[in-house]
Amino acid sequence: MHAQSNPTPKTLGRRPAGLVTGQDRVVVSDLERTVLDCLKQPEHCGGLVEVAKGLWMRREAADPRKLVDYALRLDVGAVTRRLGYLMELYEIGSPAEVERLRGHLTAGYALLDPVLPPGGRHLRRWRVRLNVAPDELAVVIRT
């Protein structure tokens, strides 16, 4: 996999890092793609609160425009919802970037954290079910 001018959703934000053994190559992702992969499958990253911590800790290094561009190219509704909610909560990026995500929401709702049991209120703005307490996500800022 080499740098592409028009990468597919599978190769978006990823690049070969070199040889490991023989013919095997390691592919690494950039920060923004890593965040989106974690939002897509938080069960592999310790849950949404851990993803939120990582996003908060690396917010200065993350490119909000790239996060939004990648999310829209990946076209996974739950990722768009979770990213938009967290970007707005943590004030990452401009309001215009956040609105770009809102413009691509579909009618259904997604759990904010699919690792946790369903529960909590439905947040219409992002079409997520807040099964993680907003206070728990706000604590991330103070850690």
Domain that residue 65 falls in: 31-142
- Which residue has better confidence, 4 or 63? 63
Question: What's the mean pLDDT in 5-10?
Answer: 62
Work out how many domains the chain is built from and give that number: 1
Question: What's the mean pLDDT in 33-57?
Answer: 95
* pLDDT above 50 for 102: yes
Q: How many other β-carbons are positioned within 10 Å of the β-carbon of residue 6?
A: 7
Q: Indicate whether 13 belongs to any domain.
A: no
- The phi-psi region of residue 105 (left if phi > 0; otherwise alpha if psi is between -120 and 50; otherwise beta) is beta
- Which residue has better confidence, 96 or 10? 96
The predicted model scores a pTM of: 0.85
In the beta sheet, which residues pair with residue 61?
none
Total count of residues recorded for the chain: 143
Q: Indicate whether 111 belongs to any domain.
A: yes
Question: What's the mean pLDDT in 14-42?
Answer: 80
Confidence of residue 10 (pLDDT cuts 50, 70, 90): low
* pLDDT above 80 for 93: yes
Q: What is the mean pLDDT of the chain?
A: 88
Q: Indicate whether 17 belongs to any domain.
A: no
Q: Indicate whether 42 belongs to any domain.
A: yes
What is residue 2's predicted lDDT score, i.e. its pLDDT? 44
